[in-house]
């Protein structure tokens, strides 16, 4: 029997609610190529920096000393290219609507913790018709540090009024899984960006899935109900 306390599911957006990370990767590659960086391909971006905010991606691949203002300009160029090329390609992940309905029926609190900026969040949620499904939406501009730091997920839990140990994060990217682990949260790994084997080193993974047809809220609640709330260090 489930403990009577609040639970939450916190979703990364890109690569989780929709399988769109390849569109982001291709846009970054085109941007970097325009600035003379030929060594970056989509696979390297997806494995090494997927889920990070634009500033961190640019400092990782292009210039560790790039200013926030210059990084913001480059990121907006990339995001514009991404939106133009992906508008007719954004689709919900298989099983997503039914999974969210089942979570709602069990009064699980739903939030988003994403590395995307506000414009891209609105763009995707509007296309997917999910704007009103989530009680908290946290992006990297609302916290001091982006993924792989835990700030985004901890802020989402705070807004949802749920202890981190009673949250499950849904993530496709390795920096995001690391952020969930540092936040003291269980994680369901989605294999849109990485293979199942890529998640094997993380202790907080409770299930690895291809999409939402493979998971049930009841099964995840059972895992959470057996977990005692922990004090984060």
Residues 6+ apart with CB under 8 A from 229: 5, 163, 165, 166
* Token pair for 96: 């997503």
> CATH 1.10.150.240 occupies which residues in the chain?
21-86
Q: Which of 143, 222, 223 is nearest to 179 (CA)?
A: 143
For 176, half-sphere exposure in the C-beta direction (CA atoms, 13 angstrom radius) is 33
Model-level pTM?
Answer: 0.86
Beta strands in the chain (DSSP E): 8-11, 109-113, 136-138, 167-171, 186-190, 205-209
Confidence of residue 231 (pLDDT cuts 50, 70, 90): very low
Average pLDDT of the segment spanning 94-103: 98
8-19+91-225 fold: Rossmann fold (3.40.50)
Comma-separated ranges of CATH 3.40.50.1000 domains in the chain = 8-19+91-225
> How is domain 21-86 classified at the CATH fold level?
DNA polymerase; domain 1 (1.10.150)
Asked if pLDDT for residue 2 goes beyond 60, the answer is no
Neighbours of 91 (CB within 10 A): 12
The model's confidence at residue 228, banded by pLDDT at 50, 70 and 90, is low
For residue 4, what pLDDT is reported?
Answer: 43
Range picked from 55-59, 68-72, 184-188 for highest mean pLDDT: 184-188
Of the pLDDT bands very low, low, confident and very high (cuts 50, 70, 90), residue 233 is very low
């Amino acid at each position: 029997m489930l403990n009577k306390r609040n639970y939450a599911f916190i979703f990364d957006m890109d690569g989780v609610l929709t399988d769109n990370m390849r569109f982001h990767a291709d846009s970054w590659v085109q941007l970097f190529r325009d600035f003379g960086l030929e060594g970056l391909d989509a696979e390297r971006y997806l494995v090494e920096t997927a889920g990070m905010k634009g500033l961190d991606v640019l400092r990782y691949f292009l210039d560790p000393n790039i200013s926030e203002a210059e990084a913001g300009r480059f990121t907006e160029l990339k995001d514009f290219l991404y939106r133009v090329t992906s508008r007719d390609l954004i689709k919900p992940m298989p099983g997503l609507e039914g999974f969210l309905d089942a979570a709602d029926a069990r009064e699980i609190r739903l939030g988003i913790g994403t590395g995307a900026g506000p414009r891209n969040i609105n763009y995707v949620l509007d296309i997917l018709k999910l704007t009103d499904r989530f009680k908290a939406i946290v992006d990297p501009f609302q916290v001091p540090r982006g993924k792989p730091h835990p700030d985004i997920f901890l802020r989402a839990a705070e807004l949802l009024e749920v202890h981190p140990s009673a949250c499950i994060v849904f993530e496709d990217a390795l920096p995001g899984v690391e952020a969930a682990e540092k936040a003291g949260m269980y994680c369901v790994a989605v294999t849109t960006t990485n293979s199942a084997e890529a998640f094997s080193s993380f202790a907080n993974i409770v299930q690895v899935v291809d999409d939402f047809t493979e998971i049930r809220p009841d099964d995840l609640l059972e895992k959470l109900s057996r977990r005692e709330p922990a004090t984060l260090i």
